[in-house]
Amino acid sequence: MNSFDKISVGGEARTELHDLLNLTGAEISVNVLPAGAGVPFVHSHRQNEEIYFVTEGEGKAVIDGEQTDLKAGDWLRVSPSAKRQLSAAPDNALKYICIQVKANSLEGYTMSDAVV
Amino acid sequence: MNSFDKISVGGEARTELHDLLNLTGAEISVNVLPAGAGVPFVHSHRQNEEIYFVTEGEGKAVIDGEQTDLKAGDWLRVSPSAKRQLSAAPDNALKYICIQVKANSLEGYTMSDAVV
């Protein structure tokens, strides 16, 4: 494998990065939900923690029946077993990234994993 | 642990999300390098793959001696052992997120990990 891979992602409805970047520790999707649209199903995960980052726009998430508003700059962690569904605001698109990682997989990080 | 945690991140120089969001599979930092500034050291990692996402601005990364330009919308995967250093452009800040995950930790993902 190369030391690195790089791609540029524009405004596509959905781009999945795992294969494009040769990721081995995460899957990441870059998503645009048009105004008034929602993910058409509720889902949970077997093993994976999901982390959502709202890059533009606004919307909401319903997680285990609890609603939370989403706006640009928000970060959201969702436990694997939680039932989740995202939607854009009626009058504003929701642009977000979703990071999937295996729950409890991280060991050291930052100074305890870095070699300077 | 709660089903979810949410925070909002503004324009701080650096915000580390692991403890704020109770992450268990990743560490994520949200970073701003002012125009002309660079990370003041070269580093690599013992176990962790890093994924960089440029949210605004421009700059460059030098990875194992190879330079690659960075601009908003770029995604970059860096292997654990690669020696890396990021800097902002002389006349433009570089805003980016950095995701650390343990290399080779991901098992199923998306449809092979989801329960719909």
User: For residues B22 and A35, what is the distance between their CA atoms, to the nearest angstrom?
Assistant: 30
CB-based contact, A56 to chain B, within 8 Å: no
Q: Give A45-67 pLDDT, tens digit per residue.
A: 999 999 999 999 999 999 999 99
User: For residues B100 and B116, what is the distance between their CA atoms, to the nearest angstrom?
Assistant: 28
Contacts of A46 in chain B (CB under 8 A): 108, 113-115
Contacts of A53 in chain B (CB under 8 A): 97
CB-based contact, B33 to chain A, within 8 Å: no
User: For residues B58 and B35, what is the distance between their CA atoms, to the nearest angstrom?
Assistant: 9
CB-based contact, A111 to chain B, within 8 Å: no
Contacts of B71 in chain A (CB under 8 A): 8
User: For residues B55 and B71, what is the distance between their CA atoms, to the nearest angstrom?
Assistant: 8
ipTM value, please give it: 0.96
**Cα radius of gyration (chain B):** 15
> Strands A84-88 and A66-71, how do they pair?
unpaired
Q: Give A65-106 pLDDT, tens digit per residue.
A: 999 999 999 999 999 999 999 999 999 999 999 999 999 999
Q: Give B23-80 pLDDT, tens digit per residue.
A: 999 999 999 999 999 999 999 999 999 999 999 999 999 999 999 999 999 999 999 9
Q: Give B6-21 pLDDT, tens digit per residue.
A: 999 998 999 999 999 9
Of B10, B43, B55, the CB nearest to A116: B43
- Convert B70-81 to b/e letters by CB count within 10 Å (16 or more is b): beebbbbbbbbe
Please tell me the distance in Å from B92's CA to the nearest CA on chain A.
Answer: 19
Is the pTM above the cut of 0.95? yes
